[in-house]
Amino acid sequence: MTIPHVFVTMADILNLECDAWLLPTDSFLTIRRHWLGAHEDLQHLAAASCGDDFHTGRLFAQAVKDWDQTSPLPVLTAVPNNMAWGPQVVAERLEAFVKAAKDSLREPSSQRPFPLLAMPFFGTAGGGAGRHLGAVVRDILNCASDLSERYSVDIVLVLQDRAAFSLAQKLRREAQAAGSGWTPLDPQLQAKALTLGGKAKAGHLVPFLGAGVSVSAGAPTWGQLLERLRDGIDLKDASNVDFDRLGPLDQASVLEQMYVDQHGSRAAFEKAVATVVDLPRYGLAPALLATLPSAGAITLNYDRLFEMACADAQRPRTVLPENVPSVGGEWLLKLHGSVSKPDTIVLTRDDYLGFNSSRAALSALVKAHLLTHHLLFVGFGLADDHFHEIVHDVRRALPSHDPQRQQMGTVLSLFDEPHQRLVWSGKLDILPMTGSFPTWTTSSERDAAIQEAGRDMEIFLDMTAAYAADEHSYLLAPAYTQGLSPDEIELRRYLLALARLQQTPATAEVWGVISKTLTNLGFDPDAFYTDRAGNEN
């Protein structure tokens, strides 16, 4: 049985592909500047959507009317006018949001098993909860879990505060230990997610992204890309070409030549490819992968979704080979080119044949990481000839029978495909999200099966990200005390007492280390004070 789920990630709601999202406001329809980026006329649309019930506080949530159905639906949700805050305030307003969203999404824009509703750190940017951040994290998580189950919706808590994110992940790990965590996943997948999370936490995991990562945001599969490229040319000159009998690389080569013949240059073909795959919003998978602590990442995708998600997760990456990486910085290797430079895109057979001569250094970087790290392949069909060549070269460089050598990576596969496990036995751990490859009689059944398996993969990544989180900045961050356990509160008091100690020249070097540790734990000297009641904040 499919069970609703609550996700947590670091992202920007305006850049996240979802069905509906919570737009914080008040009964006077005050909307902060950031949210106005959702639509140039958002303020006017909001005013036209709300009546007296919303303005007088009898109605807490109202979906924006006459909204573009191709974009996620904003649902105006009011904070209390008196700025009073507590669990009941959170519960009644978040339920109003979920109910309004569910009522307005009679036909969700996606084919997900459940509608995906996104909510920010509600009420903490002027809504009255700013002094109680730790308690609000707990309240929102508890409430979201209840609402997700009662209304049959998936909910993603979208954060931009690192302390809130680290606390939320700690609370979810505690819930998992108590038996109420990632219940939609079977025990074997949960164990694998925990293991991979540990590898990421230790800095040993490198994500390797394929086209499936971008599908939830509306990106085309390889076949769909080739079909859409046909729309840009007159196919009468190809009436004698049986595309179905050609492989994907040869189909792309034929289309490229037709673009050259009809438009006068390859640039038209490159531009057409970029137009199809350049999307404005990323899905859950890139957002979750972006939170993993990894110095490097590799992708075969042309789109910019993952780098956009990384920037929103406050982990920006230098894109290679377009830019020169900084020492110690995080990077993303776009092995097959990028829409930002269409002439770098690798798509046709000639592109693949010329890859070794033009990008040997890039392949070498991938091989080095296969040798020294554990790669996590996501959205990857494992049919790419270039990938087979890389793995083959790495295997030849390793001892043929080394019992100490672990598999080079883990592949998250939508379905169980025994033949793939045979091909990659001893090289890669193939981890299917569901059982045997299903049979279907209609395209809608096929799409539904793929969507459900893709959602299971998102839940797996959500758990992996939770166990990879290695920050504890909530511990000393202001206003997070109410989210701590008694033991953590005691530890916090000792650490804050340590922060008050007088520094001397003789201890300056040691204090450099201590100060860095205190900062990593969330200590902010400018916000550190003791109120009149003597409570440390």
Look at the block and give the residue holding tokens 């769909």: 224
* Residue of 62 and 392 predicted with greater confidence: 62
Nearest to 291 by CA among 470, 473, 34: 470
Q: What is the pLDDT of residues 467-521, one digit of tens each?
A: 999 889 999 988 888 778 899 999 999 999 999 888 888 888 899 999 999 999 9
Compute and round to an integer the Cα radius of gyration of the chain. 25
Nearest to 451 by CA among 433, 463, 466, 464: 433
Query: Could you tell me the pLDDT band of residue 531, with boundaries at 50, 70 and 90?
Result: very low
What amino acid is encoded at 531 in this protein?
A: D
Nearest to 190 by CA among 461, 425, 379: 461
Angle between helices 248-263 and 266-277 (to 10 degrees): 120
Share of the chain above pLDDT 70, in %: 89
* Residue of 238 and 13 predicted with greater confidence: 13
The predicted structure's pLDDT at residue 378:
92
Rounded CA separation 521/449 (Å): 43
Q: What is the pLDDT of residues 360-404, one digit of tens each?
A: 777 788 888 878 899 999 987 766 666 777 777 777 766 665 555
The predicted structure's pLDDT at residue 104:
93
Question: Residues for the chain: how many in total?
Answer: 537
The predicted structure's pLDDT at residue 284:
96
Query: Could you tell me the pLDDT band of residue 530, with boundaries at 50, 70 and 90?
Result: very low
For the ranges 328-332, 444-448, 472-476, 480-484, which has the lowest average pLDDT?
444-448
Span 405-410, average pLDDT: 74
The predicted structure's pLDDT at residue 488:
92
Rounded CA separation 321/361 (Å): 10
Nearest to 305 by CA among 180, 228, 212: 212
Q: What is the pLDDT of residues 26-35, one digit of tens each?
A: 989 999 999 9
The predicted structure's pLDDT at residue 443:
73
Q: What is the pLDDT of residues 287-327, one digit of tens each?
A: 999 999 998 999 989 999 999 999 999 999 999 888 876 76
Span 404-424, average pLDDT: 78
Angle between helices 248-263 and 222-229 (to 10 degrees): 20
Rounded CA separation 497/494 (Å): 5
The predicted structure's pLDDT at residue 451:
84
For the ranges 40-44, 161-165, 435-439, which has the lowest average pLDDT?
435-439
Backbone angles phi, psi at 376, to 5 degrees: -110, 110
The pLDDT of residue 406 is above 80: no
Mean pLDDT, the chain, rounded, equals 86
The predicted structure's pLDDT at residue 535:
47
pTM over 0.75: yes
Rounded CA separation 361/253 (Å): 25
Rounded CA separation 367/149 (Å): 44
Task: Decide if 216 contacts 283 (C-beta within 8 A).
Answer: yes
Nearest to 437 by CA among 381, 488, 393: 381
The predicted structure's pLDDT at residue 209:
92
* Residue of 117 and 529 predicted with greater confidence: 117
